[in-house]
Amino acid sequence: MRGRLSDTGPSLDAVTELVIGADGLARCGWGASTPDYAVYHDTEWGRPLHGDDALYERMTLEAFQSGLSWLTILRKRPAFRAAFAGFRIDTVAGYGEADVARLLADAGIVRNRAKIEAAIANARAAQDLPDGLSALLWSFAPPPGRARPGSAAAVPALTDASTAMAKALKKRGFRFVGPTTAYALMQATGMVDDHLTGCHVVTSATGVMG
């Protein structure tokens, strides 16, 4: 998870920043901070995600999150999906100025013209990829088996791979996907596993799906 979130609750391990929940399961501190985060942490974050439209959705939401909390985006995700036609690349790529105006009037999403226009531009850029968006993004994933970070402080904000991904995307016309956003995308979609050592969630990014 990009950035640092305040850990809450009495069972915080100061070394690993894990929280033991009422269910007895150890979670990354941010994943135990709210019920919404707990569900996202346990069922989505860090689990491998493939498919052009699915990855386009995650890329778009990560871009909209810039300057905001991920919790804000997570709670608005149903409205985003409705506003952006389920994040179908071919549909969003056809959006025009009337759609931009519609989106700017939609109180359910983040009404930022630059980010809305970037989402449309990125759908068009994705259409132009000969092998699709999923193939391009996953080409930057490191081999599975990398050791998990031992603490939140050990989780990087960006890596050489995310910097290379951002550069490749920018070259192909994508917007609002810098190295830090690219790394957050890699974390969220299971290209890397940044669940902390001791977290109960196990994903195929570490070689085993749990």
**What residues are designated binding site for Zn(2+)?**
28, 41, 195, 199
Beta-bridge partner residues of 18:
28
Which contiguous run of DSSP H or E holds residue 18?
Answer: strand 18-20
Count CB atoms within 10 A of the CB of residue 91. 14
β partners of residue 20: 26
CA distances from 133 to 57, 88, 137, 147, 162 (A): 11, 12, 6, 27, 15
Q: Active site includes 45?
A: no
Annotated active-site residue 97? The verdict is no
| Residue 40 designated active-site | yes
Among residues 62, 95, 138, 183, which one is catalytic? 62
Catalytic residue among 30, 37, 56, 70: 70
State the catalytic residue, choosing from 40, 45, 56, 95: 40
CB 77 within 8 A of CB 61: yes
Q: Which residues are part of the catalytic machinery? A: 40, 62, 70
